[in-house]
Structure 1
Amino acid sequence: MRIGLLIVDMQRLFMNEVADKHRVAETCEYINYVSGLLRAAGQPVIHIQDMEGAQHDADPEARSIIPEVVVGPNDLRVEKEYSNAFWKTDLEQMLRDQGVEFVVVSGFSAEYCVTFTANGAAERGFPAAILQRGILSANPDAVSSIYRDRHVVSHSVINYMTSVIGKTIAPE
């Protein structure tokens, strides 16, 4: 099974909205751990960057990925203009080209871009789950409600999934 990790909007511009900076560091730790597991297993890691209104930004550095998030040399990138990272982008084709069968969504903002992107994956036939402890919001209650109401996958389950990727069960 090919697993694709989507890291949504972990950009300098948006981290100013998160009041609890400790939470940013903790979330990045989980995202980095899972992205490392997937990279080691040859699975795609895709960074999604919100570029809405970027042509009007006085500071293009504000749109960059925060330094706390590891960006691997073979990681892919998608720029988006809308909350759903699939809408009017090549993300779906990118995932299909990579042979992705299961999508894990992480990043910012839980109740907007993360949720809309997970919905977009499902609408396009990709089973999807939110990375447990891998999402942020300016509203801490939103994170809790997403974990309560959505499919969630933990880093330990992803670790198990990556350990069995490529292994086949011998016929009896």
Structure 2
Amino acid sequence: MLSAKKIAKLPYRPCVGILLLNTENRVFVARRIDAKKDNPLAWQMPQGGIDKGEDPEAAARRELHEEIGTDNVTVLAESRDWLRYDFPPALIERVRGGRYRGQEQKWFAMRFLGADSEINLETEHPEFSDWRWEDFHRLPDLTIAFKRDTYQAVLREFAHLVP
């Protein structure tokens, strides 16, 4: 396992996150494909890395298409700041070969414009096994502990979009 000193020197991976709202202001969440079915904390919003030279909004649209099979959305808002979270030390070496200490994310709130039938998790490289529309305020309770503060920050940032 990496020492705390080595971990502190690792960079954050530049990423995007998407708070995807349907017309009823419910949020898209999906269960990670590598999670146990009975794990209540296996749900997350779409997210992923930004390719070198890629614009964050373009990365968000690409990630949506790669993860849920559609990017039929409109952007409602973009987070003012980049939000960070650290991976637990035991996870660092298993994620991206230990190159990053965590993720630094630009978040987008987007409105899904399509029908639920457009959502397809059976993509080229599936990341999720199941999905649902969830209550905005329940998001932090559904995700793994190390992402919880970030999810709470996302909720504060985009609270004005959900009555």
Q: TM-score scaled to structure 1, two decimals?
A: 0.26
More strand by share: 2
Higher relative contact order, structure no. (Cα contacts within 8 Å, ≥ 6 residues apart): 2
